[in-house]
């Protein structure tokens, strides 16, 4: 039986009836994903074909798979859905800007997957296509069946799990993993393939707008850097928390919901997200429940990558249209677990290009399988795993829009201070929020800066509400010589990483760290 476009209430009933989820004390649902509690990069593939071959930036991230291997797995997954007693289908829209949106159809094995899809993507207008599936023509079709597993010996995969994007046929198949983030990120990857070909800049960022609706801000960053937390600001309106496009018309959200990290969340520091994940209908992933049915957000029993999915309207001051004005401020977020980068730096155009290509952060525990402690990583465009095209395509779009609209760019470190992970402590959310507020209110536009000679950054000397001592990380280390030694090691990692991009202008290379 096919259940198509069921209401959230009916999907909740189904998920509970089928024992896919547990209902918490607050009414929010909890599901557990078993072995796969994060993305599985080694199991993601792109179907190689003459149509797409020369467009894709093939490598460790964008790994090719043959059409024959794809066809075998597509046959497995389509046969599975043909034989299932219950199938959940969701029709949705990806992209708030109608000129740059697509119609998405998702076939789900589980009811809770359909809840996730309904929360995360943009709902169709009731009375139009929503209740008339025969009139809905999908631009992209996704099949997700965790019970369908691959055989690496015959299917050309690395394990039983697979996430395969077929750009030419406009299909995505996912099997062997219950982790819901694979659905979200594979659709994001598809948008990152098609939009640049329309001169629209796809971005792994959150976005919000001031109370007047006139000034937008973008927050780029990898998982764990603070995109969701920092964009959920009670004083501003939330456009979206993770995936956006920037066109001549402004900024638009790809999604209709949020997928927030829950580990160690506190009501006092993140009140909006706290309230959202406690609402009836929110779907939490791998969060520990206490005997009384309440959440234990500090327990990482299953993973540090605990998540909460909820629709955007669970945030009171969200922007229903998902569209904002052209950005005035662009913020690159990094969570430096080495405790070396300053909490805030002003970037000129060449520096912005350098750090956009670098995409430095520390990969935090749990966001990918096998990551148990922070490690330095470089992910181009602050979203390399989801960007299939050539690097210069995305870099040229960034430069085009920054120059055309004179957007000011900052690098903000939300990581550690006073030493590396295990010695120092993480910069407080309060301090980071004060830094963000100072940026967005224009207080750092013309402020006096010092020049960090190792990282070649311009660092504000004063930020309202922030202790001046933390603005220079070397002052918080007990051994300054050790700080300098480690800073040079990190600078060397930057200089080695930028060599991956041979087409980059020398003026951009010269804007990075110096040895």
Q: Which of 76, 112, 171, 204 is the catalytic position?
A: 204
DSSP single-letter state for residue 249: T
Q: Which of 14, 37, 39, 186 is the catalytic position?
A: 39
What b/e sequence results for 247-272 when a residue is b if at least 16 CB atoms lie within 10 Å of its CB, and e otherwise? beebbbbbbbbbbbbbbebeeeebeb
State how beta strands 140-145 and 171-175 pair.
parallel
Q: Which of 185, 261, 363, 433 is the catalytic position?
A: 185
Q: Which of 112, 119, 227, 369 is the catalytic position?
A: 227
Q: Rounded to a whole number, what is the distance in angstroms from the first to the last CA of the chain?
A: 64
Known active-site residue 204:
yes
- In angstroms, rounded to a whole number, what is the distance separating the alpha carbons of residues 263 and 307? 8
Known active-site residue 227:
yes
Residue 152: how many CB atoms within 10 A of its CB? 13
Known active-site residue 448:
no
Q: Which of 307, 326, 369, 408 is the catalytic position?
A: 307
Burial of 128 per CB tally in 10 Å (0-12, 13-18, 19+): exposed
Q: Which helix (H) or strand (E) holds 30?
A: strand 29-31
Helix (H, G, I), strand (E, B) or coil at 314: helix
DSSP single-letter state for residue 428: P
Go through the chain and tell me how many residues it has: 515
Q: Which of 189, 228, 318, 358 is the catalytic position?
A: 228
Q: Is 463 in contact with 471 (CB distance < 8 Å)? A: yes
Q: Which helix (H) or strand (E) holds 267?
A: none
User: What are the phi and psi torsion angles at 367 (to 5°)?
Assistant: -70, -25
Q: Which of 31, 118, 206, 223 is the catalytic position?
A: 223
DSSP string, 469-485: GGGSGGGGSS-HHHHHH
Known active-site residue 242:
yes
State how beta strands 87-94 and 2-4 pair.
parallel
Q: Is 165 in contact with 342 (CB distance < 8 Å)? A: no
- In angstroms, rounded to a whole number, what is the distance separating the alpha carbons of residues 498 and 366? 27
State how beta strands 257-261 and 307-311 pair.
antiparallel
Known active-site residue 228:
yes
- In angstroms, rounded to a whole number, what is the distance separating the alpha carbons of residues 452 and 224? 25
Q: Which of 155, 242, 336, 452 is the catalytic position?
A: 242
- In angstroms, rounded to a whole number, what is the distance separating the alpha carbons of residues 45 and 30? 29
Q: Is 331 in contact with 298 (CB distance < 8 Å)? A: no
Q: Which residues are catalytic?
A: 39, 185, 204, 223, 227-228, 242, 307
């Amino acid at each position: 039986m096919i259940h198509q476009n069921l209401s959230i209430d009916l999907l909740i009933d189904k998920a509970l009836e089928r024992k896919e989820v547990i209902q918490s004390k607050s009414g929010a649902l909890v599901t557990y994903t078993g072995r796969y509690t994060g993305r599985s990069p080694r199991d993601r593939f792109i179907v190689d074909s003459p149509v797409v071959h020369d467009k894709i930036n093939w490598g460790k991230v964008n790994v090719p798979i043959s059409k024959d291997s794809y066809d075998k797995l597509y046959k497995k997954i389509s046969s599975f859905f043909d034989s299932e007693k219950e199938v959940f289908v969701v029709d949705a829209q990806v992209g708030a800007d109608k000129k740059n949106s697509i119609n998405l159809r998702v076939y789900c094995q589980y009811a809770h997957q359909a809840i996730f899809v309904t929360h995360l993507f943009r709902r169709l207008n009731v009375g139009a296509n929503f209740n008339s599936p025969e009139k809905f023509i999908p631009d992209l079709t996704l099949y997700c069946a965790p019970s369908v597993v691959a055989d690496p010996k015959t299917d050309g995969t690395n394990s039983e799990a697979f996430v395969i994007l077929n750009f030419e046929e406009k299909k995505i198949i996912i099997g062997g993993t219950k982790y819901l983030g694979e659905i979200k990120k594979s659709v994001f990857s598809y948008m990152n393939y098609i939009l640049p070909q329309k001169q629209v800049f796809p971005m792994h960022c959150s976005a919000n707008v001031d109370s007047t609706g006139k000034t937008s801000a973008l927050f780029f960053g990898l998982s764990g850097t603070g995109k969701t937390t920092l964009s959920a600001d009670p004083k501003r309106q939330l456009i979206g928390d993770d995936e956006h496009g920037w066109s001549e018309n402004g900024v638009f959200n790809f999604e209709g919901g949020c997928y927030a990290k829950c580990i160690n969340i506190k009501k006092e520091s993140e009140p909006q997200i706290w309230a959202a994940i406690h609402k009836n209908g929110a779907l939490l992933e791998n969060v520990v429940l206490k005997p009384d049915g309440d959440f234990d957000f500090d327990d990482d029993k299953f993973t540090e990558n605990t998540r909460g999915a909820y629709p955007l309207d669970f945030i009171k001051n969200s922007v229903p249209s998902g569209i904002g004005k052209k950005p005035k401020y662009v913020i690159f977020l990094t969570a430096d677990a080495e405790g070396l980068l300053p909490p805030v730096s002003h970037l000129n155009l060449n520096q912005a290009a350098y750090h956009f290509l670098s995409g430095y952060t520390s990969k935090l525990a749990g966001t990918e399988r096998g990551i148990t402690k922070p490690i330095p990583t470089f992910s181009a465009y602050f979203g390399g795993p989801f960007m299939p095209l050539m690097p210069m395509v995305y870099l040229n779009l960034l430069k085009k829009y920054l120059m055309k609209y004179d957007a000011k760019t900052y690098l903000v470190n939300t990581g550690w201070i006073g030493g590396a992970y295990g010695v120092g402590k993480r910069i407080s959310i309060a301090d980071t929020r004060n830094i963000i507020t100072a940026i967005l209110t224009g207080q750092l536009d013309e402020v006096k800066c010092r020049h960090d000679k190792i990282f070649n950054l311009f660092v504000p000397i004063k930020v309202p509400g922030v202790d001046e001592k933390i603005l220079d990380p070397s002052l918080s280390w007990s051994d300054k010589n050790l700080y300098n030694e480690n800073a040079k090691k990190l600078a060397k990692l930057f200089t080695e990483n930028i060599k991956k991009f041979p087409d980059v202008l020398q003026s951009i290379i010269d804007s990075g760290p110096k040895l």
